[in-house]
Every structure is written in C-alpha cells, then in structure tokens.
Structure 1
Amino acid sequence: MRWLAVFALGYAGLCGTLTGLSTALVPACLRVTEPADVAIVLGAALKGDLPTGETLARIDAAIDLHDRGLVSRLHATGSRPDGSIPSAGGLMRAYAILNGVPEGAVTAENASRSTLENALFSRPALPPGETRIVVTNGYHGLRSMLSFAWAGRPASACASQPIARSLTERLRDPLRETAAWAYNLPRAALWSLAWLGGVEQRLGARFLQ
C-alpha cells in the first residue's frame, strides 16, 4: 500500500506538472507568427445553438489566424455531450463562414466528445504532410498537441484569449486538466496496444470519450 500511495502521489504530481508547463509554455494565438496550413479548433461547452464562452474564444482566435494569413483553412472539431445536432464543430464552421472565412476553407468534425477523439476522428480531414496548429486554452495546449501526435497528425498549439471566469472556475480548470492527464495517458496507451493487436474495436465505442 505504501508503494501504491507513493506511485499515486508521483503520478498526480507528474500530471499537475504537465498542466503547469502547458499553461506556461503554450503561446497566445495573438503572438503566433509562424504560418501553418490549418488551424484545428477544439470545441468546448455550448449554450443553445451558438458558440459561446471558450468555444467562441477559440473560433475567434482561429479566424484571426486566417485573417492574418497565417493559416489557409480551419478545421473545427467537437460534438455535443448528448450527440445532438448542431454540434460544436458544425456551429464553429457556420460561425467562421459568417465571419468571412470562405466556405471551402472550413471543415468540421461532429462526433468527438474528448480530446483523444478530436484527434482520432479528425484524421481524414487532416492529410499527412500538412503543418497544423491547435487552437484551445493554454492549460489544454500540451495535451492537445500530444493527442494529435498520438493520432498521427502532429501539431503545434496556441491559446485563445482568456474569457471572464469566476475564481472558482479559474481554480477548477487546472485541477480538471490534471485529472484529464491522469485519465487519458493510460487510455491512449491501452488503445494503442489494442490497435497494434487489431482489437481496438473490442474496447467499445465509449472508451476514448
């Protein structure tokens, strides 16, 4: 039990460190100057049929990258928690088109419910050989980068503008991200092992959610 407790504390410390590094190292999208072929926009919470909060901040940051000529197209990814339509990906795509991005320069993925699924389900829309940048929150950037690398579509990352949040929310988000690291590292490893053995379907449709 003692060694189990030591391992658990060490693992929690590692995951917390990764969250802290992401917050410190992922640059703001407004500071990005290196061009990429595509900006991948990760959906967050939705209210009604409009992108709001973090989702709105992320798609606005991606549109700004496009307007500055730093990306030639956008790819929006994410579903609703209940799987209904319109999805986060679809709403962000429609919003980008309304704000001047050509319709042919925006794709959407509508089924993913987690960062791992964002990366895996977006593979068909992200051809090999492209350069990519993921648009998300700062604390989430590093895990997003590793998720897309895990899915075979490596990308850099940048952070959208922070939105107004309560103190409780600002404290909660890094804790949730630390927990997400702890949960997703073993899931990604297990799925990869299952994929190598050709049995990933046996893990079930919800395994990566």
Structure 2
Amino acid sequence: MGNIFDNYFSYSIFFIVASAVMSAITFLLIKKNRYRLLCGMATIATIFSYFVSLSIIVLQINNKVLTYVYLAALVLIFIPIFLLTFLSAFLFIWNGIIVWRRESHSIGNMLTLIIGVLLLLIPIVFSLLNRYIPNNKIIDFLENVSYSFQNYLLFWVLTFLASYMITKVVRPKFNKEYAIILGSGLINGDTVSPLLGSRIMVAANFKNQQFKKNKMPMKLIMSGGQGRDELLSEAEAMREYAIHHGVPESDILVENQSKNTYQNMLFSKQVVEENGFDLQKGIFATNDYHVFRAAGFAHLVGLNIDGIGSKTSKYFLPNALIREYIAILSNHKKFHIAFMLVIVIINILPIFIS
C-alpha cells in the first residue's frame, strides 16, 4: 500500500511540475505571438496536464466525498462535450439551414450544411458496406483512413478553436497610434454593409476608450480598394461612414489600393510609415472570426500588431470559423498533405503484410 501511495505521490509531483512548466511555456508563446496554432496546442497540453495532475492528487488523497465531488464535476464538464460531439452532424445541418435562409446560397455559406450531411452519411455508408460486403480489406482500409482523417482534422479544429479563444481573451493595451480597418465588399457598390460598419465602429470605440483613459489620440486608417462592381473604393465609403458616426475627419487616413487582406496590411504599412507612426504601436480591426488569420498577414509584412474583432452574428459564426479554419490549413497544405499520406501508408501496410 505504501508503494502505491509513494507512486501516486511521485506522479503528482511530476505532473504538477510539468503543469507549471507548460503554463510558463504557454504564457511565453502567447506573449511573443498569440496568433499561432502553436499557442492553441500549448494551451490544450497545459489544460490536459492540469487535468492529469488533479486526478492523481484526488486519487492520492483517497477521500470518498472529494472523489465523488470530482467525478460529478467531470460528468458536468464531459456531458456537454459528449452531446456536442454526438449531435454535431445535426447541429451542423441545423446551422447550415439557418445560414441558407439568411445569407446568399454560395458554397462558402453551405459549409456547415455539407459537413453535417457528410458526418451523417459516412458512418451509414460504411455500415452498409460492412453488412453486405463483410471482411473486405479495401473497405476496411477506406474506413480506417476516413476515420483517421476525421480524427486528424478534429485535432486541428480543437487547436484552432483554442487559438481563436486566446485572441478573444487577450486584449490590446490602450497605447496605440493608429488602427487599420480592413475593408470588405460594399452593398450596391456604394454602401457600407453592417459587417463592415461593425469593423469601423469597434475601432472607433477603441479610439474613444483610449482617449478617455490616457488622452492619447490615434488615427484610423481605412483600407480597401475599389472592386469591379463598386462605384467607389471601400476606403472612401468607410471614411464617409466613420465621419457620419462621429469620427473627426482629421483623424482618418485612407488606403484605397488593396484588393485582399495581405495588401490591406502591406499598403497600410506604407501609410503608417509615411505618417511617421511607430510600426509596432498599432492595431487592426476586422470581424472576430477573421482576427487570427489576418494577424498572420500583418506579421508577414512586418507589422507585429494585435487585432480587435467586432462581433459576428451567432448563427453565422460556425460557418465563418470553418472557412477561416480551411484557409489556415491551406496555408500549410504541403505539411498536411504529407501527414495525410503518412496516415494512408500506415493504414495500407497491414493489407500487404497480411
């Protein structure tokens, strides 16, 4: 009995130290650059290490009341997770139908609907195949690869969501000289959309809060060129919108050449330099789901700045996050293709060996 107690004690000390080390590493990673998937991975690893540490401590104390309380807490935590996982296909389909009714019927807006249907169909298809064509190596291979791919993508989904939540929790300091507001398409070629308007207002509110707190002024840089179907540049429309909503004209700068997020950052950086601002004392404003990926473009052009996000309609957020997730995966497509090839090879080897 003493050996078991000693082992639990040793394990608890080890995991407590490991948790402390992981916490320190995660803190340093977030402080250096919170807009990396590595921060999400480190956060998940830290949470898991604390879970293991706490479990070992509860076992070591060996108190029935404490054990029951701990198990009850775990049940309360894991039941919602289990239900969300079990019902994920239906929730995706439900969300897809809502987006279909309220937004345009583009492929991008149908992502949650498509994913939900696939999550329902894949298990049914393999169940039928195994029933009518039992013990078929090719079907077994395809099924194993399919579920391995799903688990691989699930891992990166959790990593992305953890990284996304970090950007929501950590707020920029009120010491900025400028804010870059990322443009998006205009309604009827000349009208700021509610989505774009929310970006402008979140930056304007930050500007007002900063001035109220420390009397430090800042400029708003409206960034967006003119599309083929637009009557004026997005930046000009954004400028008029900001003035109409109380932002002094003298506090607005315009960048009207960019066509995408990378150019938003690159051309806005030129405006920042031309006006003598400190490159690192700025922020950018976009929708909350877009902050994580946009920060990657900012850092790519040499702007190590934070982002602030305007709120997105709850019904549209799952679809928007999935699109961002796919875009982030595509930025590292060679790595993911290589890893998926490894998964295929691992699953195909038993066929040749047997």
Q: 2:196: which partner in 1?
A: 55
**Superposed structure 1 runs of 4+ greater than 6 Å apart:** 8-11
- Larger RCO: Structure 1 or Structure 2 (Cα < 8 Å, ≥ 6 residues apart)? 1
Count the aligned residue pairs: 181
Q: CA RMSD in A?
A: 3.3
Bigger helix fraction: 2
Contact 1:46-1:80 at 8 Å conserved across structures: no
Query: Are residues 84 and 44 of structure 1, via their aligned partners in 2, closer, same or farther at CA, if it must alter by over 3 Å?
Result: closer
C-alpha displacement of 1:156: 0.7
Pick from 70, 94, 97: which aligns with 2:240? Answer: 94
Contact 1:119-1:151 at 8 Å conserved across structures: yes
C-alpha displacement of 1:139: 2.1
Q: Does 2:222 match 1:76?
A: yes
Q: 1:201: which partner in 2?
A: none
Pairing of 1:35-184 with structure 2 (within 5 A): 35-48=175-188, 49-68=190-209, 69=211, 72-82=218-228, 84-127=230-273, 129-130=278-279, 131-162=281-312, 164=313, 167=315, 169-184=316-331
Aligned residue for 2:283, secondary structure, equals strand
Bigger strand fraction: 1
Partner AA of 2:207 in structure 1: H
Contact 2:203-2:285 at 8 Å conserved across structures: yes
C-alpha displacement of 1:133: 0.8
Contact 2:202-2:308 at 8 Å conserved across structures: no
Rg larger in structure = 2
Query: Are residues 182 and 17 of structure 1, via their aligned partners in 2, closer, same or farther at CA, if it must alter by over 3 Å?
Result: same
| Alpha-carbon distance in structure 2 between the residues aligned to 1:136 and 1:41 | 6
Relative to the length of structure 2, the TM-score reads 0.44
C-alpha displacement of 1:185: 5.2
Contact 1:137-1:159 at 8 Å conserved across structures: yes
| Alpha-carbon distance in structure 2 between the residues aligned to 1:112 and 1:9 | 37
Which whole-Å deviations, capped at 9, do the CAs of 1:84-119 have from their partners, x for residues lacking one?
Answer: 442222211121122232223211222323211211
| Alpha-carbon distance in structure 1 between the residues aligned to 2:332 and 2:183 | 21
Q: 2:34: which partner in 1?
A: none
Query: Are residues 24 and 121 of structure 1, via their aligned partners in 2, closer, same or farther at CA, if it must alter by over 3 Å?
Result: same
Query: Are residues 34 and 67 of structure 1, via their aligned partners in 2, closer, same or farther at CA, if it must alter by over 3 Å?
Result: closer
